[in-house]
Amino acid sequence: MEYQIEQASEILRNTPHVLRAMLTDVCGPWVTNDYGADTFSPFDVVGHLIHGEETDWIPRALMILEHGESRAFEPFDRYAMYSRSKGKTIRELLDEFERQRCTSLEALCRMNLTGAHLDRRGKHSALGSVTMRELLATWVVHDLNHIAQICKAMAFQYRDQVGPWRAYLSILKPPSPAQ
């Protein structure tokens, strides 16, 4: 499927609602437990998504529009949420994420991006030259990836309780080193 802002926005707009439906009114372990070493809990994921709204998607899109490839994006701190989310509740994080996402989508709309804008290139410090289209498509897939990650963390809480059905539940496979 070819990237289109309107279609992409459908997913981006719904992510806060999906997370709220999954994580509101569930007990602490569903929210705070992860699925192995070096993995995120649902709480961590929401904090990570907030940090992305503040420092990644829209700031990088604006940088592409303003600087093109002449200036590399600031590196993204994948773990900033650990300190930033400390002392907050999941409800506070969900509220903050929803506000931040709304602000981001409003900013995206104000950009009035055309096909030519989507073809503009920016510079990622590790990946090199990237297009606006690739950045914005990655934003959508990043959301979907983290929704799947939340599901995996939650499913892992019953991994030892499902008995022989574990063989049929691909979500319960141990994480690979890069997850």
pLDDT tens for residues 50-104? 999 999 999 999 999 999 999 999 999 999 999 999 999 999 999 999 999 999 9
Q: What is the pLDDT of residue 111?
A: 97
pLDDT at residue 172 is higher than 60: yes
Tell me the domain boundaries of the chain.
5-172
Query: How big is the chain, counted in residues?
Result: 179
Q: What is the pLDDT of residue 177?
A: 62
5-172 architecture in CATH?
Up-down Bundle (1.20)
pLDDT digits (tens, 9 = 90+) for 117-137: 999 999 999 999 999 999 999
pLDDT digits (tens, 9 = 90+) for 24-56: 999 999 999 999 999 999 999 999 999 999 999
